[in-house]
Amino acid sequence: MAPDISGASPGVPIIDRLAIIGLGLIGSSIARAARRNKVATTIVAGDADPAVRARVEELALADEVAPTLAQAAEGADLVILCVPVGADAAVAQEIGLHLKRGAIVSDVGSVKSAVIAAIAPHLPPGVSLVPAHPVAGTEQSGPDAGFDSLFLHRWCILTPPEDADTGAIALVQAFWEALGSNVEIMTPAHHDLVLAITSHVPHLIAYNIVGTVAELEEATRSEVLKFSAGGFRDFTRIAASDPTMWRDVFLHNKDAVLEMLGRFNEDLTALQRMIRRGDGEGLFDLFTRTRAIRRGIVAQGQETAAPDFGRRAAETPAKP
Amino acid sequence: MAPDISGASPGVPIIDRLAIIGLGLIGSSIARAARRNKVATTIVAGDADPAVRARVEELALADEVAPTLAQAAEGADLVILCVPVGADAAVAQEIGLHLKRGAIVSDVGSVKSAVIAAIAPHLPPGVSLVPAHPVAGTEQSGPDAGFDSLFLHRWCILTPPEDADTGAIALVQAFWEALGSNVEIMTPAHHDLVLAITSHVPHLIAYNIVGTVAELEEATRSEVLKFSAGGFRDFTRIAASDPTMWRDVFLHNKDAVLEMLGRFNEDLTALQRMIRRGDGEGLFDLFTRTRAIRRGIVAQGQETAAPDFGRRAAETPAKP
């Protein structure tokens, strides 16, 4: 059913017509990366927001900008939904009947069980669903924020339903590999649990501490901003991520997030107790173990070891 | 009592003999920055660890490397303790009687009330104590990790005791300004409260979530490392900071840390409840407010707005 990709080679399009629905940070990065790597013959952009469509035209991110989502999806071989998870159901309903037989629908959502439940019911027979989650991003949003190397050397997790067409899975895998990603396949439920701890709970905690600061009395708050280089500013970077996207993530991965948050809370209570009791040995042991975890991430190639708290001075404007 | 600095100009040393005790990340950065900016005529290094002393010699970070801390401090005009906060009392005791009349003692500790209590009793009459806290650093440690622009455009907070000599305060201020820092003066107690929320609690939370991951069953843990680019890796950077230094911070700023941690916990409970109840509006409101805090920090010049989750691809080695 899916196009033959057995002879795929760099620079030879593996997709004829690629439709990207939602041109935010991720969608616009896919458009840029797909064009740079010549992955698709034609790139079609669809977005519900007229301002975004206008900007996509100005930036010339796509070959065609469709006036409606249905028109963007019409005749496409691969349709990627790059909208907040909470909007997937409505978008799938809007485009479902306009999809051609043999089309593949995919997405980029940070949760997967809920996304499959939202999209699958709206797809007609003969259309394959192969959900994907590129584990990449920045704290910025919108079509201007994307860039073509965002997915390079990053993981992309595919969570195909059990009955998914193997040809369709292979095509989506080839697509992400052509964008420079490493692809991994797992079940939606397992994805949601792993991402709860690697991504969702870290974001939640960052939002929370920045929220705690927002509640401080004005005088203290302005000092916190001033002296933020001591650690706090790194949390604000995470907590500057797109609010709509993250609201939807927490609403749609509730169980796994609450489970992992429970563990975090237990550990924090123990740590609080160590401080209250002056247990220096316990603190030192924990802080030593966490260093080892860091080394593991650098060794896996998912991070640079270059020091970053001391941001390159040249990048930071002088305070008068 | 303190040297006259009224005629200080760039490139003209404002200190004759500068002693740095402890040549880790901060101490070695001070040595490098003081030399680059020609702030002192002679830089003397002292370190209790023979391996560090040898490395300081190899890197030629100082004009003299003294065999003992007492000898490093002897005859110095400004002595800066750059050791973990828990070691301050012992170091002050070791050098106290060797300080010349008119000498100034300072430090770089992340807590200030406890540091003054630890150092002051060991200083003879005629020696001034002007504690300092450069709010700068990286997640790395040791004499090789330092660099001469670490303090550039960063804040340095001075917390002189009420009876401190004004000439001594002016000299320490001029010293840090010569290293490129912006200097702010506040009481030790206020410093400890502000830093508890800007620095100490953020570090504690980062250590805690990385600790939670360390406790996961092996299979899940290795996946967490693999997919860490989703947010977790930013916490591991913070949680890779020096264990001894941070153990001492939490033991010596216990009250302020527990107070701020209490607020954080209350807010986290409320957030958890929003997720459990599916309160999308509450989540969206919080996530929008936290974005504004981020903008405040970028506007204050303490951070770069350049996107960072999508680390420059070139810095990150490819995963085979």
Are the C-beta atoms of residues B237 and B75 closer than 8 Å to each other?
no
Q: Do A267 and B137 touch (CB under 8 A)?
A: no
Chain B neighbors of A87, CB-CB under 8 A:
none
Q: Do B231 and A238 touch (CB under 8 A)?
A: yes
Residues A191-303: name the CATH superfamily: 6-phosphogluconate dehydrogenase C-terminal like domain (1.10.3660.10)
Q: Do A227 and B198 touch (CB under 8 A)?
A: yes
Best A139, A302, A315, A319 residue to mutate vs chain B (most B CBs within 10 Å):
A302
Distance to chain A for B174, nearest Cα, Å: 16
A9 — pLDDT class (breaks 50, 70, 90):
low
Chain B neighbors of A237, CB-CB under 8 A:
234, 294, 303, 308-309
Chain A neighbors of B248, CB-CB under 8 A:
280
At residue A10, the pLDDT reads: 61
Return the H-helix or E-strand segment holding A40: strand A40-46
Chain A neighbors of B300, CB-CB under 8 A:
225-226, 228, 319
- The CA–CA distances, whole Å, from A9 to A14, A38, A47, B68, B201 equal 8, 10, 31, 66, 51
The pLDDT profile of chain B, 320 residues, written as one tens digit per residue, is 444 444 445 668 999 999 999 999 999 999 999 999 999 999 999 999 999 999 999 999 999 999 999 999 999 999 999 999 999 999 999 999 999 999 999 999 999 999 999 999 999 999 999 999 999 988 889 999 999 999 999 999 999 999 999 999 999 999 999 999 999 999 999 999 999 999 999 999 999 999 998 888 887 888 888 888 778 888 888 888 889 999 999 999 999 999 999 999 999 999 999 999 999 999 999 999 998 888 888 888 777 777 776 665 434 443 33
Span A71-75, average pLDDT? 98
In chain A, CATH 1.10.3660.10 sits at: 191-303
Residue listed under structure tokens 């989502």: A69
At residue A249, the pLDDT reads: 95
In chain B, CATH 3.40.50.720 sits at: 15-186
Residues A15-186: name the CATH superfamily: NAD(P)-binding Rossmann-like Domain (3.40.50.720)
Residue listed under structure tokens 């967490």: B224
Question: What pTM was computed for the model?
Answer: 0.84
Q: Which amino acid is at A243?
A: P
> Which token pair is A71?
């028109």
Are the C-beta atoms of residues B205 and A280 closer than 8 Å to each other?
no
Q: Do A228 and B297 touch (CB under 8 A)?
A: yes
Cβ pairs bridging A and B (under 8 Å): 383
A4 — pLDDT class (breaks 50, 70, 90):
very low
Q: What are phi and psi of A6, to 5 degrees?
A: -60, -30
Are the C-beta atoms of residues A109 and A207 closer than 8 Å to each other?
no
> Which token pair is B194?
């502000």
Q: Do A212 and B309 touch (CB under 8 A)?
A: no
- Tens of pLDDT, residues A255-300: 999 999 999 999 999 999 999 999 999 999 999 999 888 888 888 8
Q: What is the ipTM of this complex?
A: 0.85
SS3 A320: coil
Half-sphere exposure of B56 (CA within 13 A, CB side): 31
Distance to chain B for A71, nearest Cα, Å: 31
CA nearest B304 in A: which residue?
A: A316
Rounded to whole angstroms, how far apart are CA atoms B199 and B135?
Answer: 9
Q: Nearest CB to B135: which of A230, A234, A235?
A: A230
> Which token pair is B64?
């003299």
In chain B, CATH 1.10.3660.10 sits at: 191-302
Chain B neighbors of A288, CB-CB under 8 A:
243
Q: Do A290 and B214 touch (CB under 8 A)?
A: yes
C-beta atoms surrounding A176 within 10 Å? 23
Strands B15-21 and B78-81, sheet pairing: parallel
Chain B neighbors of A137, CB-CB under 8 A:
230, 309-310
- Tens of pLDDT, residues A185-236: 999 999 999 999 999 999 999 999 999 988 888 878 888 888 887 788 888 8
At residue A304, the pLDDT reads: 78
Q: Do A302 and B147 touch (CB under 8 A)?
A: no
Q: Where are the beta strands (DSSP E) in A113-200?
A: 128-129, 132-134, 155-158, 182-185
Which option is the CATH number for B191-302: 3.40.50.2000, 1.10.3660.10, 3.10.20.740, 1.10.1760.20?
Answer: 1.10.3660.10
Rounded to whole angstroms, how far apart are CA atoms A50 and A142?
Answer: 13
From the list B140, B314, B250, B141, the residue with the least C-alpha distance to A180 is B314
